[in-house]
Structure 1
Amino acid sequence: MKINNPRRIVGSNAERTRLHNRQVVLGHVRERQPIGRAEIARISGLSTQAVSNIIAELEEDRLLIEAGRQSEGRGLPVLKYRLNADGAVALGIEVRPDAMFGALVNLEGETLFTTREALSDNAPSTVVSVARRIRASALEGRCGKAQRILGAGVVMPGPFGKVGISGAGQSALHGWEESDPVAVFEEALDMPVVVENDATAAAVAERVRGVATGLRTFCFLYFGAGLGLGVVAEGEVQRGAFGNAGEIGHVIVRPGGRLCACGNHGCLETYASRIAARSKLAGAGIEIGSASDIENLYKAGNAHLMEWIEEASGPLSQAVGLIENLFDPETVILGGAMPDAVLDHLIATLDLPGGSVAARAGRSTPRVQRGACGRLTAALGGAALVIHDTITPRIAAKT
């Protein structure tokens, strides 16, 4: 049985949905640029006059620019529009337990600036100080470009709030339990802020500039402080009721297995994550501090790292099958703070289950593939999320 019922993003002519309609127009321009007013009106359900008014407003805000006239059969050439890539920028900041990463991107998602800052600790006061420094460095010299700063996407490892799996593990940020990170970062950065978990932000980055461009439904397994899952379904980011959707690292894959920092035994994170790799190598007297250390060990053919890859393969294969049957994604992407060569090796060793909805003929995308945004995926995703929320209307918006 084949189900083919795509949902169409439509607008409303009601004034109370002005922001939604702006997003509708921006979204269609981004997907089909260059595009004319009549075509936007046809596919959005908005009147031509409403589209014209919105385009004029977006031109004034420097978010859209004219892309020339093009002939479309009979009649006068049609004036087309496209996004003004240089009209706005967004800042992305990822907070890890031992480092922070920053990125600045333009409206098309192109990277303008990146940086890495080591952390002596991850207490709020330290993180805020480094965030201010990243902001200053990212925006230095850009004040004369008349670019609109849309805001900042701050990315942190979950889970958020006091929940049953928030043990003081290696992936935890300490001292944030009673803090409101949105309020903290908005005051520190002096701009609108959205706070997101790392895996979700990474998924958005891949959709904007990576291998998920053009995909509507996919999942992203993110190797960050722990192991997280970002889910995009029908173009919508799936966050869960409290922003904690995707804690795949704490799904039990080996009942009674290794003790996890969350208090359970046999969690996926204890087998397939940087934490697991670090533990394996530490047992052999090898200390690693960054993805570069792992890359060097891999290039040297370190036997203990190769053993970890083999050990991670089974639990990771099981997790991929679970993800496929739960979400029916077009593909599952692996990425984050792990060297490309190691990710490729992990993917090559997977024994994907045949009992999966993804095991079908005629696939146009591989079941599992490596992401294209590299180790800065989450920071880029934080910035991309701000842009995504600016130009992507929500399906559920009232009309």
Structure 2
Amino acid sequence: MTSSDLLFDSRPGANPDRSRLRNRKAVLGQINSAGQMGRAAIARSLGLSTQAVSNIIADLEAEGLLIERGAQSAGRGLPAVQYAVNPEGGFALGVEIRPDVLLTSLVDLGGRPRATRRKVLTDLAPDKIVNQVLQLRDQMLRECGVKPDRLLGAGIVMPGPFGATGLSGQASDLPGWQTIDVPALFGEALERAVVVSNDANAAAMAERFGAAQGLTDYAFLYFGAGLGLGLVHHGQLVEGTFGNAGEIGNLPVMTKHGLKPLEQMVSRVSAQSALAAHGPLDIDALDRLCDVADPDLMRWLGTACDALGQALGVIENLFDPQTVILGGAMPALILDHLAQGTPLPELSVSNRPDATLPRLQRGTSGRMTATFGAAALILNRAFTTQTTAL
């Protein structure tokens, strides 16, 4: 049985089996949160017997998921052996599928990216992309010297909306994917646990290790090909019935040409369209144009800031976040310009004198934030007793 089986076994079973799996995750999660802990401290924090915790730790140690990290004296008696999560004990595969590129990452159990890959896409057929994911996975495993049985699972993220909806057919969609059972497709190919999410949600969770560190309620505006919104409330993703909460790209905003969808005014596709005279533009090219204050780009940024200000008021008044964070596949210079140049609505619940955080700021996770967030979906399942808790 692999580490993936031991952490993600979802086969029907008796209550004792499910309780054992929950307790294993609880112990692993408690140690991960604390950095290192002894048996007695874990038992007290989880309300388990010391013997039960000892048995679980022995199993997790044998599987390579925990390692000893010295001993700590707590008064009388022998010093308590401390246990920590073994970063080499397991790995998660992160996969981000955009309309133009495939991004993958291999992240260890400590949350550190060990390898990344990027491949330009010319064919979005599901079977073609699955084959490319398998190839990139194998390359990264070989590069890092990781045995396949150490792979816990794969997080797959892509633009929403999921399923056939009234928003289908947008430029940021993945054509032909609306009716695909994505978890089954990748689960069968990878033979591992698979978690599927939209890119904005994954990016929002990845930013917990960046600008959102220590925050419980925030919004993350994600620049992929289009524009998505990840919402975190009390540390949990707000996903909606079908995983489509936060589809903000079609929010109507007022422009000099009347009402337009937000995504047509604020997105990478929007910027590339406004700068069509410059020819094809990737992220690095946009970065160079911003660095020299290209007039066409500056004009686009002006209209983008106006539109974003309108959307910001809607997000703040509906969600009441601690802050709104910008990030994703856009140059940092452009994100900084948007964060600093967007007019902050006065008629907002976030316009308050006791605010301690910027209402709008740039994230720190970088261009691959959703890819790393995809891997984090798997790591969080290893450390939480509720699979929907991230």
- TM value normalised by structure 2: 0.88
Pairs within 5 Å for 1:329-348: 329-348=321-340
Which position in structure 1 is the counterpart of 2:12? none
| Deviation string, structure 1 residues 278-309 (Cα, Å, up to 9, x no partner) | 22112xx1233421121111122111111111
**SS class of match (2:278):** coil
Indicate which of 29, 47, 50 corresponds to 2:49.
Answer: 47
Indicate which of 290, 295, 307 corresponds to 1:298.
Answer: 290
Which position in structure 1 is the counterpart of 2:217? 217
Letter in 2 for 1:199: A
Q: Does 1:325 align with 2:317?
A: yes
Indicate which of 16, 34, 37 corresponds to 2:36.
Answer: 34
Letter in 2 for 1:332: V
Which position in structure 2 is the counterpart of 1:60? 62
Q: Does 1:315 align with 2:290?
A: no
Contact 2:96 2:102 in 1 (8 A): yes
Shift, 1:127, TM fit = 1.5
Pairs within 5 Å for 1:1-399: 16-142=18-144, 148-166=150-168, 168-207=169-208, 209-254=209-254, 266-282=260-276, 285-394=277-386
User: Structure 1 pair 227/362, CA: closer, same or farther in 2 (3 Å)?
Assistant: same
Q: Which runs of 5+ in 2 are unaligned?
A: 1-14
User: Structure 1 pair 255/53, CA: closer, same or farther in 2 (3 Å)?
Assistant: farther
Which position in structure 2 is the counterpart of 1:9? none
| Deviation string, structure 1 residues 308-345 (Cα, Å, up to 9, x no partner) | 11111122122223222323323221100000111011
Contact 1:224 1:274 in 2 (8 A): yes
- What is the aligned-residue RMSD (CA, Å)? 2.4
In the alignment, the residues of structure 1 paired with residue 357 and residue 30 of structure 2 have an alpha-carbon distance, to the nearest angstrom, of 24
In the alignment, the residues of structure 2 paired with residue 279 and residue 230 of structure 1 have an alpha-carbon distance, to the nearest angstrom, of 25
Contact 2:91 2:108 in 1 (8 A): yes
In the alignment, the residues of structure 2 paired with residue 110 and residue 193 of structure 1 have an alpha-carbon distance, to the nearest angstrom, of 20
In the alignment, the residues of structure 2 paired with residue 100 and residue 279 of structure 1 have an alpha-carbon distance, to the nearest angstrom, of 22
Give aligned-pair identity as a percent: 49
Letter in 2 for 1:346: L
Q: Which runs of 5+ in 1 are unaligned?
A: 1-12, 259-264
**SS class of match (2:71):** strand
Shift, 1:131, TM fit = 1.3
Contact 1:86 1:147 in 2 (8 A): no
Aligned residue pair count = 375
Contact 1:123 1:173 in 2 (8 A): no
User: Structure 1 pair 332/50, CA: closer, same or farther in 2 (3 Å)?
Assistant: farther
User: Structure 1 pair 354/76, CA: closer, same or farther in 2 (3 Å)?
Assistant: farther
In the alignment, the residues of structure 2 paired with residue 32 and residue 324 of structure 1 have an alpha-carbon distance, to the nearest angstrom, of 33
In the alignment, the residues of structure 1 paired with residue 228 and residue 363 of structure 2 have an alpha-carbon distance, to the nearest angstrom, of 14
User: Structure 1 pair 32/360, CA: closer, same or farther in 2 (3 Å)?
Assistant: farther
Shift, 1:144, TM fit = 5.7
Letter in 2 for 1:191: R
Shift, 1:218, TM fit = 2.0
Contact 2:93 2:154 in 1 (8 A): yes
| Deviation string, structure 1 residues 242-269 (Cα, Å, up to 9, x no partner) | 11111011222239966xxxxxx52211
